[in-house]
Structure 1
Amino acid sequence: MIIFYIKGELFVRYQLGARERERLLESLPLTDEQRDFLIHHVKRGKKTIFANIMAKDKGIVLPGQTTNEEIEQLLDEWILDDYIDNGFVNPETRCECGRPLRYQYIVRHKTTNEKRRFGIDHFEEHTNISSTIIKDILKGFHTIDYELDELLVKISENWSLSEVVPYLPNEFKLSEGIKQYIDNDIPLLDRQIELLKKEIRLFVNQPQRLIDIVPSNVEKSLERQENDQISFDFGIDDSIHEVATTLDNNNVQINLGLTLEDQIFQFVQEGISSARVICELLIKHEQVFSVRYITGKPKIFVRVCQYLDSLVDQGIIKNREILGTDDRIYNI
């Protein structure tokens, strides 16, 4: 564990060596469920890192809570199909070059369905992904390893949620991601603790109304013209997809056609729960233009949320989770 300060604020990095990580995994009194959860955390995390960086290379910036399954809907090239940790160098698990591996990465090209199997050192050689992207991917993989270190250290120290979050308001609903950790008796990561504290503050300060998803004043001031009205054409077919955006007294009004609304609802029915991902899918399939705020958020995001909220009000969609101003999650 490395402790350091930035501008007087305490930060902790949990960084174990490979042997210490293995020792804790073997020595801690973990249940089978906890061990499986930790292994799945690493596998899921590395797949999400890979997908996020490939999406970012295409100019798509998504909130950290977006699942790798949803991100992969936006990709047409390489995705990380699987990650295998044998626990030892296994002659049955080899790199494309023939070398036996302990850790094997299996990538699949979504368009051609071609699969490649290799060790961490041969990413660039076997995928033709640029060295810059590979560097970011490997850096992200190390972050996931550090998260595993953090969880192992906290388990060894008998971490308790009540010590870091002493107050959970009545009727406060934990996000599904955080709930999975608590249900499996796994400590929360520091980043999850900060997110939980933020969600609690928002809940306490605004218990009776939805959190405003209108773009920030900074974004609006950059977009505003003298008459406080801006029009954008988000679609390919003007008669169906013309979208008028009016910024007036901090309100946003956008009109969608029936074709877009049907497509949005279809995405939800197919299991796409993130409003941000739905926006990116509309852009990918050229149903709306890629017009964005300076944060990278598509401008269609507000209207997509408004339409999905209307389905919640009608009882068609039963669940809604608000992730601050970054995203909203909807489920049938």
Structure 2
Amino acid sequence: MKKVLSEKETHSLMKTLTEEQRHFISNYIVQCKKLKWLDVLSRSKTDFTYKNANTPTVNIETNEWTLKTIIDGGYRKRPFKCDCGASLRHQYIVYNNKEEKEYKFGSTCFEEHTNLDAQIVKDIKRGFYLIDIELDEILIKYKKRELFNVSSFLHLKDDPVAADLIKQAKLNIPLSTKQIDELRKAEFHYKHNKNKQEAYKGLNELQITLIEKLPLKEQVELVKDLIRKEFHYEDLPDTVDSAEIQLFVKLGLPLLNRHRIRFNTIEFFSQTEQVTSEAATENKQLSFKEANEITYDVFMKRHLHILKKVRENQDRISSDNEKIWLNIQNNIKEFRDGKEFNHSAFKGDINHILKHLDLGLENMYG
């Protein structure tokens, strides 16, 4: 990804901001870079700490160096000095906790004196570059007057991230794509927490503990089903070999989508074991008349081996395609129970799943 604006263009657009806007956005960029530095160092398990004027020091295991701030001297200016004597535009002010001494470095001296690995420095610089591109986006949007309406997010004022973004918008500073995503993420968590308050009424501690241990995506799914009172027990087979499904039923919690995929698949495969040997040889194109008159037994003879192959790989099915796979299974169950079955729609759906799983079998339904 290439930087959109030159240093000169960035400088020119920054000058069009008011003093308050310029201070706000400059502080945002500096904070982003400090956080990026911390993020890279923490992921690399480097001993480092980062101090923010507004938050406590963040410790990464043992620490020797503390990054206090990064100062930008401005376009075509090098007003600062490295401790080695070199003139700097960007100055990194760091504190050595063992020596109890502050240092002022440029990027080169910082790398040498803190013994940072070359890959870490590369990752930091890459992160800084992307932050500069984000600044470009904000400035270009400002020039075009592309402001983001935050009126529907004002209830998020107690969320620290959202509060800063709302303040930025109120200063008539556009939000970057990344910032808009962060605001929507804050809204998502706000709604989820509100839904949890409603869903958890009447639940005991064990039920709530189990829900809280689930991944966020499954928490959202289960909480919504609790509110709608949709438990999905109606299609449970007589016997279920999954201890987790048994626990959910015992606790009176809705079954998850992955549970339903599991027991639906088990059910319809257990009903059709006898037809596996003939499946491979009977996969032929049907005439229009045959397609309309196909029976459940004929269908299973033709397609069971494909369905089993998908079942073996169902853990790789994406969340979007899980719904298609679940729908396929439900339609087959209804077909077995005597309801109408759309064979053409089935072929389209199963072909989509096969392509998604890259099993090399989709040409059978092309």
Q: TM-score under structure 2 normalisation?
A: 0.47
Please say if residues 90 and 106 of structure 2, whose CA atoms lie closer than 8 Å, have aligned partners that are also in contact.
Answer: yes
1:72 corresponds to = 58
Matches within 5 A, 1:165-176: 168=152, 171=155, 175-176=159-160
Deviation, 1:197, is 2.7
**Which protein, 1 or 2, shows the higher relative CO under an 8 Å CA cutoff with sep ≥ 6?**
1
Deviation, 1:124, is 1.8
2:262 corresponds to = none
Give the number of aligned pairs: 208
1:214 aligns to 2:213 (yes or no)? yes
1:21 aligns to 2:10 (yes or no)? yes
Counterparts of 1:217 and 1:43, CA distance in 2: 31
Q: Which amino acid aligns with 2:60?
A: L
Counterparts of 1:147 and 1:168, CA distance in 2: 24
1:67–1:141 CA distance, 2 compared to 1 (3 A)? farther
2:83 corresponds to = 96
Percentage of identical aligned residues: 29
Please say if residues 106 and 117 of structure 1, whose CA atoms lie closer than 8 Å, have aligned partners that are also in contact.
Answer: yes
Deviation, 1:89, is 6.2
1:44–1:206 CA distance, 2 compared to 1 (3 A)? closer
Q: Which amino acid aligns with 2:8?
A: R
Q: Which amino acid aligns with 2:187?
A: I
Counterparts of 1:47 and 1:38, CA distance in 2: 14
Deviation, 1:182, is 2.6
- Provide Cα deviations, 1:155-191, integer angstroms capped at 9, x if missing partner: 11112223xx7x8279555732232233242222212
Deviation, 1:35, is 0.8
1:222 corresponds to = none
1:203–1:72 CA distance, 2 compared to 1 (3 A)? closer
Matches within 5 A, 1:139-178: 139-162=126-149, 168=152, 171=155, 175-178=159-162
Higher Rg of the two aligned structures: 2
Please say if residues 77 and 110 of structure 1, whose CA atoms lie closer than 8 Å, have aligned partners that are also in contact.
Answer: yes
Q: Which amino acid aligns with 2:214?
A: P
1:213–1:70 CA distance, 2 compared to 1 (3 A)? farther
Deviation, 1:108, is 2.1
Please say if residues 105 and 117 of structure 1, whose CA atoms lie closer than 8 Å, have aligned partners that are also in contact.
Answer: yes
Matches within 5 A, 1:172-191: 175-184=159-168, 185=171, 186-191=173-178
- Structure 2: 5+ residue runs without aligned partners? 200-210, 219-240, 252-366
Q: Which has the higher helix share?
A: 2
Deviation, 1:36, is 0.6
Please say if residues 169 and 204 of structure 1, whose CA atoms lie closer than 8 Å, have aligned partners that are also in contact.
Answer: no
1:89–1:143 CA distance, 2 compared to 1 (3 A)? same
Please say if residues 32 and 131 of structure 2, whose CA atoms lie closer than 8 Å, have aligned partners that are also in contact.
Answer: yes
Counterparts of 2:79 and 2:130, CA distance in 1: 28
Q: Which has the higher strand share?
A: 1
**Helix, strand or coil at the partner of 2:60:** coil
Please say if residues 105 and 118 of structure 1, whose CA atoms lie closer than 8 Å, have aligned partners that are also in contact.
Answer: yes
Please say if residues 90 and 100 of structure 1, whose CA atoms lie closer than 8 Å, have aligned partners that are also in contact.
Answer: no
Counterparts of 1:227 and 1:106, CA distance in 2: 57
- Structure 1: 5+ residue runs without aligned partners? 3-12, 61-65, 220-225, 230-246, 252-332
What CA RMSD, in Å, does the superposition of the two structures yield over aligned residues?
Answer: 4.1
Please say if residues 81 and 87 of structure 2, whose CA atoms lie closer than 8 Å, have aligned partners that are also in contact.
Answer: yes
Q: 2:32 aligns with which of 29, 45, 48?
A: 45
Counterparts of 2:243 and 2:54, CA distance in 1: 39
Q: TM-score under structure 1 normalisation?
A: 0.51
1:109 corresponds to = 96
Counterparts of 2:53 and 2:81, CA distance in 1: 29
Deviation, 1:113, is 3.1
Matches within 5 A, 1:266-281: none
